[in-house]
Each structure stands twice: as structure tokens, then as C-alpha cells.
Structure 1
């Protein structure tokens, strides 16, 4: 999480760093029940719920069939194209190093943006059009920040900020729009606390409030329709990696896994949080299920998830004294790490260290040294794994 936050920092500052946090709220527009805004159509929300749930559950064919029906019914509206793009975003999210979905993701966002721009040009007061433009450019910025395409991220961020401001003033949009405020409130405090070099930059922005940010995320997670799951996603990541609230992270990831049992990202997060609170046997059960789904080539289950799952199984068996089984799954962790090109990840490096120790105890010094040298190859010198490998080689005269 903290490594990926580096990429988001720049983007968050572009999109969310505005003075609206200090401004008085605008007066909401009262809409009649026959509002022109499709986004607020309760009947459509009822009809689209199954499709959105299918998308988050990685049943993309079902979701996309329903999105195409909406596209047929509303050919000039950005909503169906945006939802199609969101489905591809979740394909990317499972393994953000994989770029094979980037182009189609951006193409759907561009289509949604063009339709929203036509709506906005026809009526500059159309807050729904502004909402979709803010969301479309916002997701583009998230992708470009992952790819370190800073010029494109800058363009996307500035546009997202502009349209986010223009979409304000509609009371029923507030739960959806609150996600941006929540993330700014949290990260504008967290970033300077954890990255002192960025404090002068952060001093240029309004002062945030981490506690308020979390409260706002909880509100979005409970009350929004289109951004609810996204808020829950951010919440459990913050609770797990930044707030030291592992049981709250487990609570949310357990709910998401139960609601979307075929979402590999939620599945591996649930296994991880079970492990972090000491429910190791439950974590191993889920990990075996993840590995089995990879073997069955279930949609979305791939090497990145396998690296997590194999590691939890290996650690459990190592601590239980089952060194032969532990060795097998540490080797799987390494294999999955290499397949997903995650050689600098903590799980990959720790698996190598454990394999080195196992081989050393078995008297296989040459194999042990090879594993530790591999750690030194991929870990930065200041990384704890690099130091542990150096120390072990020296102490054991490998």
C-alpha cells in the first residue's frame, strides 16, 4: 500500500487539492421526481444493481450484457461507457503491473467523456455531465499515476478538479462526491507525516483532518450508490496499512469477500487480514482456495494473488514445523513472484530468506547461498531483507 501511495500522491494533490474544504456549502437544487439526471434515477439504480454486483464479482460477461442494454437505451449518455471502463479498472487492479487492459480502459473513459462533454456544452449547468467528467478524468489520472505518466496525470488531474467543482451543489450527488473530500482530508495529513520532504508542498493546500476523512469514507461506504464499494476498498487499505486497525480491515474485507466471493482482490485481502490478526488456519483455508482457483484458471485469479496465498500457506507450515510443506509453498511464492515480476516485494524476498535458512539447516550451503544472493540482487541495500541476507551469509560462512 505505501509503495503505491507514492504514485497516488502527485495525482491526489492535483485532483483533490482545492479550497472547497474551506468554503461554505452551496444551496442544493431541489429536483422533482422526474429529474432529467439519469444518475439519480432510482428505477435505473434498482435495475443496474445486479449488473454492478456482477462486475465487482468478476462476472464481466453478465455485467457487460446489462451495460450494453443501458447503452442501447441511452446511447448518448456517459453512464454505460463509464461502467464498462470501471469493469476494466478492476481487471487492472488485480495486478497493476499488467498493462494489457490499459488501452480499452482509456477508450471507454474517452467515450464517456465525449458524451458528457456534449451534455455539458448543451447545458453548462448540467451537474451530472460535470460529475461524469470529474470521475472519468479522475480514473484516467489513477491509471497514469500508476504508469508514472506524469504529464498525462497532470492533464487528467486538472480536468478532474475543474469538473469536480462544477458538479457541486446537488444534494443527492453529495454521497458520491464526498469520496474526493474524504481522500483529501486523510492524505493531506498522512502524506506530510510520512514523507517530510513533501511538507513544503503540502503547506500550499488547505489543512485536512484524518479523522474526518475516515468518517467521510464510512459515510460514502454506507450511503453512496456508485462509489460505495470504492470507498470500502480505500477504507480497508487504510485500516490495514496506515491506521493499525487490523480488525476493522478484516471486518470490511470479510464483508466484501462474502458479497463478491469471486473477486480475487477482495479474496486475497480477506486471507491477508485473517493472517494479520492471527487467524492462521482460516487464512490458510482461503489461501488454498485461491491457489485452487488459479489452477482452475478462474477469471482474475493469477500469479499476483498466488504469491500472497502461497506465502501464507508456507508461513503457517513453517511455524508449525512442517518444513517440507513450507519449502514447497515458499518455492511457489518465488515462482508466482517471478511470474508477476514482483521480485522486490516483501513476500518474495522473505520467501527467499526462508528457503535459504531451510537449505542451510539441511547442510546445503551452496543452495542456501544462492537464495541469499538472490535476495541481495533484488532488495535495495537499505531493505531489511538485504541486511538479513548479508548477516546470515557472514555468520554462517556461506
Structure 2
């Protein structure tokens, strides 16, 4: 999923002298939620149509440019790989920053401006990171961080900040655990707390208005990737997939959760729907999940073919490295099952070179020690 999505739209709750406060603006609130629901379900033209009156009402406000950027990000994903629309995407975020800086400097709406700036700088940093322009990404992240710190004290005032607070608190601890090389840099950032981070994300997933869906999705991902809270992940993703059945990212993560929970029959049913989507993540996931079903049924020959096809795909997406690490780990296990220890050892080593899932790392390290 795309970071800082629904959360950025909380800014409709601003107070503007010439406009009613959004929290008291029932019509705009309903429009916004309807537009978000269409966008999450990838109904782009319908989302644009629904958002239009609100975009016009807030025409010269930072929020309008955040919405436009978000529409581009969803419709042309991965936006970073689309040269034409990537420029338009960055331009909208830069316009948001310009207007938000004016509001921030004026002081009257500093709380609202803090979030505009956090969202816009954070999205630009993410975009440059995916484009491997790490210098620009680092500079934007540094700018976003200053507003993130301000947001720590604003959650009680606006519950949308629980999302950003939760993400930071959790990943401030988790990221250096997974990427030890970052420790000398991350040392200078404020401390995190995984337990508090999870609590913040759960609170955002229940009580926030605009960031609820994003908080739920990130929480499910953390449950699967690091915490092994499988039942919680299944519950979250069942709800998201049920509400947004056209969203392949939600479908992919739902199938992953089902497989982790051992629900093979339902996984196979849902996998038929994922197979129709084009894109690196969905194509790799289709091979990996088919391989996983075969593996769990102990059809190792069929599983091996699927896993090999997954790692052979050269396309890159948000989920591809994680998915391929799963395939490599299973290929290592298959090697052990059929007595090919040398191949198994190589697969486990390759797995560990890209793996970030705690259960995958633990499994590969354990088997390597035994070999």
C-alpha cells in the first residue's frame, strides 16, 4: 500500500476563516468518505467525480493538492516508475508544502499545517526512496521528521496522529533490527517503543476517521511480518477485503494471512481472483502462494516449480523481495526433504540476503545451523 494515504486527508478538519470547520460540515465529510471508499476500491473516475465539489471548495488550500497527489499515486501505481505522472505527483506535493508553510508561519493554523507538511514531505521522501535517489529521500525525510516530532503531542487533539505516531514508534525499533547498518544514523532519532506503536496503530484503526483503513492495513502487515499475530491479521484483512473487493493489495495480504493461518481451501479460492491482476507483486505472489499451497499439501515437485517461477521473475514491486524470500526459504526446506543439502544451504543463504519476515529469518537461520 501507499504510505500516508487516508491519513493525509484528515486535514479536511481544518478551520479556515472563510469556510466551515470540516468536523461541522456534514456534507463535505460524507463526500470525503465516499470518495475515499471509491479510491480504496480503485474506482478512480468515480472517486474523482465525488471529490470534485470538495476540491473546488478548498481550491487554494494545501489539502486539494494532497488529494490530487493521492489520486495520481493510486491510479498510476507505481507512480515512481511513471516518468510523466511522477513529475505531476511531486509538483502537487510541492504546492501543498508551499501553501502549508504559509499557514505554518502564520501560526494560527499551525496544528493543521504540521500535518500537511508531514504528509507531503513524507510522501516525497518515499517516492525518491523507491527511485533510489537516496540523497533527496534523506533530505525530505529529515524535513518530515521535524513535523513528526511535533505530532507526538497532537494525538489527543486529533486522533489521526495516532497513525503516524504508531508507525514511527514501532519502526524506530524494528527497522534497525532488520537493517543493522542504519543503527549509527538512527541513533540520533527519538526513541521508539514497539508495544506503544502497536497500541497507537490499533487505536487509529478503531477511532480515527480518515486513517482507519491505512492503520488497519499497516497493522496487519506488522502482525504478519514481525509479530506472528496471525489471527489478528486474518481478521483485519477479511474486513478490508470484504469492504474493498477490487483492491488487489488487500486481496494479496488477505491470502497471505489465510495461508499463514493454514486455511488452504479459502486461500485457493481467493487466489483465483488474484491471478487476474497484472503487476510485479501480484504475479510473484500468485506463484509463491500456489507454491505454498502445494508445499503444505506436501506436493514438493509442484511447489518447487511455482517457487522457481517466482524467483525467476525480474520485475520489482513493493512486496516482491518479501515474497521471494518466502519462496527461497521453502525451496531450502524442499531441498532438505529430498536430501539435497547443498542446494538447501544455498537457498537459505539467498533467503537471508533479502528476508525481513521474522519467521522466515528464524527458520532459515535455524536450518543453516543444522546443516
TM-score, with normalisation over the residues of structure 1? 0.69
- C-alpha spacing 1:279/1:171, structure 2 compared with 1 (3 Å): closer
Separation (CA, whole Å) in 2 of partners of 1:318 and 1:161: 43
Asked if 1:307 corresponds to 2:284, the answer is yes
Asked if 1:188 corresponds to 2:164, the answer is no
Secondary structure of the corresponding residue to residue 42 of structure 2:
coil
Secondary structure of the corresponding residue to residue 338 of structure 1:
coil
Separation (CA, whole Å) in 2 of partners of 1:144 and 1:282: 38
Q: Which residue of 2 aligns with 1:103?
A: 87
Structure 1 residue 137, shift from structure 2 partner: 0.9
Aligned Cα RMSD in Å? 4.2
Separation (CA, whole Å) in 1 of partners of 2:299 and 2:268: 14
- C-alpha spacing 1:117/1:314, structure 2 compared with 1 (3 Å): same
Q: Which residue of 2 aligns with 1:233?
A: 217
Q: Which residue of 1 aligns with 2:231?
A: 247
Separation (CA, whole Å) in 2 of partners of 1:351 and 1:227: 35
**123, 129, 135: which one aligns with 2:119:** 135
- C-alpha spacing 1:382/1:156, structure 2 compared with 1 (3 Å): closer
Separation (CA, whole Å) in 2 of partners of 1:147 and 1:137: 15
Separation (CA, whole Å) in 2 of partners of 1:167 and 1:383: 33
**298, 307, 314: which one aligns with 1:338:** 314
Q: Which residue of 1 aligns with 2:62?
A: 78
Separation (CA, whole Å) in 2 of partners of 1:161 and 1:39: 27
- C-alpha spacing 1:213/1:176, structure 2 compared with 1 (3 Å): same
Structure 1 residue 65, shift from structure 2 partner: 2.3
Separation (CA, whole Å) in 2 of partners of 1:273 and 1:85: 30
Greater mean alpha carbon deviation, residues 52-61 or residues 151-160: 151-160
Secondary structure of the corresponding residue to residue 225 of structure 1:
coil
Q: Which residue of 2 aligns with 1:126?
A: 109
- C-alpha spacing 1:327/1:253, structure 2 compared with 1 (3 Å): same
Secondary structure of the corresponding residue to residue 210 of structure 2:
coil
Q: Which residue of 1 aligns with 2:207?
A: 223
Separation (CA, whole Å) in 1 of partners of 2:155 and 2:165: 15
2:151 and 2:165 in contact (8 A); partners too: no
Separation (CA, whole Å) in 2 of partners of 1:320 and 1:179: 39
Higher Cα Rg: structure 1 or 2? 1
Structure 1 residue 149, shift from structure 2 partner: 2.3
Gaps in structure 1 of 5+ consecutive residues: 2-7, 9-30, 295-300, 362-371, 389-398
Separation (CA, whole Å) in 2 of partners of 1:254 and 1:187: 25
1:333 and 1:351 in contact (8 A); partners too: no
- C-alpha spacing 1:96/1:355, structure 2 compared with 1 (3 Å): farther
**Deviations 1:355-389 (Å, cap 9, x if unpaired)?**
999xx99xxxxxxxxxx7xx88x94896899xx9x
Asked if 1:58 corresponds to 2:42, the answer is yes
Separation (CA, whole Å) in 2 of partners of 1:305 and 1:80: 31
- C-alpha spacing 1:334/1:67, structure 2 compared with 1 (3 Å): same
Q: Which residue of 2 aligns with 1:394?
A: none
Secondary structure of the corresponding residue to residue 192 of structure 2:
coil
* Aligned residue pairs, count: 339
Greater mean alpha carbon deviation, residues 192-201 or residues 348-357: 348-357
Separation (CA, whole Å) in 2 of partners of 1:328 and 1:189: 37
TM-score, with normalisation over the residues of structure 2? 0.74
1:140 and 1:153 in contact (8 A); partners too: yes
